[in-house]
Amino acid sequence: MDYYEIGDTIHGSKIYVEARKIEGYRVIVKTGRHKAQSVTLIENAKAVIVKKLKYANKNQTSAQVPLDPRSDRPPAFKH
């Protein structure tokens, strides 16, 4: 299954990505002391799930998240 629309997302335990350019690498705060990394891939970007999530809800439907019109990044997720 391929995703080509703005806001399409994939979620996995391990994801392989490749692109011609990488922009905006930064460390972001998730919850408490937990941190994550954020990056934007540019020009012919591709992502493939290498390892699926161990505890994924199979009945869960993924909602599309619209991009912030002032930025090329999706909005921050609140848990």
Interval 18-63: pLDDT, tens: 999 999 889 999 888 899 999 999 999 998 989 988 876 665 554 5
Instruction: Indicate whether 69 belongs to any domain.
Output: no
DSSP 35: E
pTM for the whole thing? 0.58
Instruction: Indicate whether 79 belongs to any domain.
Output: no
Burial pattern 32-71, b for ≥16 Cβ within 10 A else e, equals eeeeeeeebbeeeeeeeeeeeeeeeeeeeeeeeeeeeeee
In the three-class reduction of DSSP (H, G, I as helix; E, B as strand; rest coil), residue 58 is classed as coil
DSSP 33: T
Q: How confident is the model at residue 78 (pLDDT cuts 50, 70, 90)?
A: very low
Instruction: Indicate whether 26 belongs to any domain.
Output: yes
Instruction: Indicate whether 66 belongs to any domain.
Output: no
Q: How confident is the model at residue 73 (pLDDT cuts 50, 70, 90)?
A: low
Instruction: Indicate whether 46 belongs to any domain.
Output: yes
Q: Quote the CA–CA distance of 34 and 36 in Å, as a whole number.
A: 7
Question: Count of domains in the chain?
Answer: 1
Instruction: Indicate whether 45 belongs to any domain.
Output: yes
Instruction: Indicate whether 40 belongs to any domain.
Output: yes
